[in-house]
Structure 1
Amino acid sequence: MNNSDRFLEILEAEFDRHSYGENPLELYEPIKYIMALGGKRFRPLMTLLATSIYSEDFSIAIKPAMAVEVFHNFTLMHDDIMDRAPLRRGKPTVHEKWNANTAILSGDVMLIRAYDLLLDVPKEKLRQVLLRFNQTAAEVCEGQQLDMNFETRQNVTEEEYLEMIRLKTSVLLGFALELGGILGGADAESIQMLYSAGENMGIGFQLKDDLLDVYGDPSKFGKQVGGDIIANKKTFLLIEALSKAEGHLKTELEKWLMLENFNNNEKVEAIRNIYEALDIKAFTEQKINEYFTRGLSNLNELKIENPRKETLLNFVKQLVEREK
């Protein structure tokens, strides 16, 4: 068993035994539910892998790594309410299974529990970690607000969109790796390199999510394929299509975006055909590869000769090839 598999096993055992609270049941049951849905756990796993590059005692990072995952799931719980998403990881979202008010309140408690888990950070590093966590958390909220702003804007540029997903998605992955470096005792330059690696890969992962929403296998994706198209969500693919479409393609695209009553499957198929005509899929794949290449380059530049660095690199390469 390699380190990434061993660390994942340790994390899952810790999540299984961890208590977020018991009473009232209606407050804590949704937290147990969303955390038990699993997910890929790659953020906390990256924290442990980064820590292990610089320290033999990776256990110091277990609870702080869990804090990253709890915070991530808190954002998902609230995002699903805002997006009116019916599914999360192939299961009903918390607001669908319970109600929106319960999901809001349970999410609030998750944020508090994330701070509880961060208290395991050694005292001499706690202030640094909390400052960076708070900055990251605020940026995630900024990104979410920009995402909502884009819903009512007609023109969103590629540059604006990439900045939005950097804030909403990738800064947390950057923090996950940065946290591992801090806890492991890495130097300041390496900590910054780890953050940059996570930030670049995070943008790549979000662009891949945009792509999978249109072209993913429903049995693997875990969410409603075509959901972004149905909701007219400003994804990278739609923004590029709006900037490139001309003539009848532009007319057709605008028609589907304006329609209020439509068959979901018909709309998804029509928009997908427009994307194909404009070669949007290939362009998006090229952009994804650019960001993944930058992220891997950041990791390769870490000035440390340690076989555990290869474990992190290999794990990241596996993530790049994922289909869900």
Structure 2
Amino acid sequence: MYTITDLQKLVEQEISKQQFVVEPKGLYQPIEYVMGMGGKRIRPTMCLAGCYLFTDDIQPALKPSLSLEIFHNFTLLHDDIMDNADVRRNQATVHKKWDENTAILSGDAMLIKAYQYASKINGQHLKKVIDLFSQTAIEVCEGQQYDMEFETRDDVEVSDYLNMIRLKTAVLLAASLKTGAIIGGASDDDANLLYEFGENIGLAFQLQDDFLDVYGDIETFGKAIGGDIVANKKTFLLLNALQLASGSLRNDLLKWINAADFDAQEKIEAVKTIYNTLKVDELAREKMNFYFEKAIAALNRVNGRESMKEQLRHFAVKLIERSR
């Protein structure tokens, strides 16, 4: 019987077997570098879990599972260029270690590699898997575009934000589970229920990231607290605060948003106080729980291996318990 941990190890072993560097090495070395940075390997692991729900033979899902990890890392590589980020997972980003042109071209090659890995399945499931992969890939790009546009828009609604994080984050997790289910021989209904599970867990996870950026502990969260506030990032918390605030409270919030010169810690504390007054932290928790419960309800309806369903429930709980 496989556990989530077993599947993570299988993914790591499979990645270590891949020969990413061929000629010209200048194109492929950055790919090996990115794939060797580590990470939780959540998406390929979820693909294998989705497969194991319906069959003992998960070998056919191994290469397609790697396509999802390659694609995910491709998006991070290009995100780092757009954000001009210096560091990813405590290592220099590709465009800093090499240069921007190399990063763009190697990222393009990663996307093509992802398609090559996704297509390494038998013909019975090939069209469904490739169609799902293509739909997901374009949705992730749409999500990234919305995220960039939101930086300069002043008419972003909470519903707009939820759709953006669904596209940018949740659909890839959902597609990972559904891809595994398709390869494992699941019915369309069960594959779609797994997609629903992954999509809602992805939404809950991203909302929790918003929450932890303000209310998390730096030791457990793993990055500095308050970065979204300093950058005026349009998160679930800020958008709800802008919608709810009035009078002097709204004036104070807008003052901090529009301030060009400020002490970062002072701004973080002031905006956090406004959030507390408006109780947007409670709204965030309620929304997280809404998506979590919706995810578990979908998973409970899946006609699959009960031991892996229990593993997936535990996985979902662990994601949500980061702040508890």
Same fold (TM over 0.5): yes
**What fraction of aligned residue pairs are identical, expressed as a percent?**
48
Provide the residue aligned with 1:111 in structure 2: 111
Structure 1 gap segments, 5+ residues each: none
Q: Measure the CA separation in 2 of the matches of 1:25 and 1:256.
A: 48
Q: Measure the CA separation in 1 of the matches of 2:145 and 2:124.
A: 34
Provide the residue aligned with 2:100 in structure 1: 100
Q: Measure the CA separation in 2 of the matches of 1:160 and 1:311.
A: 32
Provide the residue aligned with 2:209 in structure 1: 209
Provide the residue aligned with 2:139 in structure 1: 139
Q: Measure the CA separation in 2 of the matches of 1:215 and 1:95.
A: 32
**CA-to-aligned-CA distance 1:88-111 (integer Å, 9 cap, x gap):** 334443334444333222211111
Secondary structure of the corresponding residue to residue 40 of structure 2: coil
Change (3 A) 1:128 1:160: same
Change (3 A) 1:91 1:289: farther
8 Å contact from structure 1 (residues 86, 93) kept in 2: yes
Q: Measure the CA separation in 2 of the matches of 1:110 and 1:219.
A: 33
Change (3 A) 1:94 1:286: farther
Shift of 1:5: 1.3
Provide the residue aligned with 1:231 in structure 2: 231
Provide the residue aligned with 1:177 in structure 2: 177
**Aligned alpha-carbon RMSD (Å):** 2.1
TM-score, normalised via structure 2 length: 0.92
Shift of 1:309: 2.4
Provide the residue aligned with 1:123 in structure 2: 123
Provide the residue aligned with 1:258 in structure 2: 258
Q: Measure the CA separation in 2 of the matches of 1:297 and 1:68.
A: 25
8 Å contact from structure 1 (residues 230, 268) kept in 2: yes
Provide the residue aligned with 1:286 in structure 2: 286
Q: Measure the CA separation in 1 of the matches of 2:217 and 2:137.
A: 31
8 Å contact from structure 1 (residues 87, 224) kept in 2: no
8 Å contact from structure 1 (residues 193, 299) kept in 2: yes
Number of matched residues?
Answer: 324
Provide the residue aligned with 2:27 in structure 1: 27
1:7 counterpart letter in structure 2: L
Shift of 1:226: 2.6
Change (3 A) 1:191 1:76: same
Provide the residue aligned with 2:37 in structure 1: 37
Shift of 1:228: 2.1
Shift of 1:248: 2.3
**CA-to-aligned-CA distance 1:55-77 (integer Å, 9 cap, x gap):** 11011111111111111111112
8 Å contact from structure 1 (residues 89, 222) kept in 2: no
Change (3 A) 1:117 1:40: same
TM-score, normalised via structure 1 length: 0.92
Change (3 A) 1:109 1:128: same
**CA-to-aligned-CA distance 1:166-216 (integer Å, 9 cap, x gap):** 111111111011101100000111011111111111111111111122233
2:300 counterpart letter in structure 1: N
Secondary structure of the corresponding residue to residue 121 of structure 1: coil
Structure 2 gap segments, 5+ residues each: none
**CA-to-aligned-CA distance 1:275-323 (integer Å, 9 cap, x gap):** 2222222211111111011111100011345323222222222222235
8 Å contact from structure 1 (residues 198, 295) kept in 2: yes
Provide the residue aligned with 2:190 in structure 1: 190
8 Å contact from structure 1 (residues 70, 114) kept in 2: yes
Q: Measure the CA separation in 1 of the matches of 2:123 and 2:216.
A: 45
Shift of 1:86: 4.0
